[in-house]
Structure 1
């Protein structure tokens, strides 16, 4: 009987691991599809030529990685603050403003880098286009949840 219980527990654990792996794969595929849509949207809205896109998107990928890092620290349980800032205010709570300031610094830095590739006007327009894509994504999510 003990051997049967052990076998059953092992079997259940294997099934749970398989299901969680499939869910992660499905989520990563969904995330990749959204990223591809975002890249297509940015390319279309900024009217990027092929050569501009080839130079723009490696910089964009660096920007995206840095922003994800700051945002995950901001929303996560980690108490690590952006470099050069204090993560806690006097009450022991995380200082969200320090993360917002870091996001702004990153945006300013990358606006300059984007401007070298696509010009000042379109570099500034990029952030509005990125926000518009997020809003479209939220609207689509709300529509699907109805």
Structure 2
């Protein structure tokens, strides 16, 4: 009887693991599809030539990686604070303003890098286009939930 119990617990844990991995793969496919749509949207809205896109998107990928790291730190997904900023103020509460300030610094830094590739006007326009994409994504999510 003890053997059967041990076997059933092991099988249950294995099934749980398989289901979790499968769910993560589905989520990563959805995320990849959204990222592909975002790249296409940015390319279209910034009117990037193929040569510009080849130079722009490696810089964009670095920017995106830094922004994701900051957002996960801000929401508490990571224990590390942004470079040069403390994640907690003296009262033990997370200092959201320091994350917002760091986010602004990163955007200013990458605006310069984007300008080297696509020019000042389109580099400035990028952040508006990125926000517009987020709004479109949010509206689509709301539409699907109705």
TM-score by length of 2: 0.96
Question: 2:136 matched to which residue of 1?
Answer: 136
Q: Say which SS state the counterpart of residue 37 (structure 1) adopts.
A: helix
Match of 2:31 in 1: 31
Instruction: Give CA deviations for 1:79-101 in whole Å, capped at 9, x if unaligned.
Output: 43212223222322110010001
Rounded Cα–Cα distance in structure 2 between residues aligned with 1:17 and 1:77 = 22
Gaps of 5+ in 2: none
Question: Can you list the C-alpha shifts for 1:67-115, whole angstroms capped at 9, x where unaligned?
Answer: 0011100002544321222322232211001000110000000000000
* Aligned-pair CA distance for 1:136: 0.4
Q: Which runs of 4+ in 1 moved over 6 A?
A: none
Q: Secondary structure at the match of 2:115?
A: helix
SS in 1 for 2:36: helix
Q: Is the contact made by 1:81 and 1:98 (CA closer than 8 Å) also made in structure 2?
A: no
Provide the C-alpha distance between the structure 2 equivalents of 1:78 and 1:56, rounded to a whole number of angstroms: 28
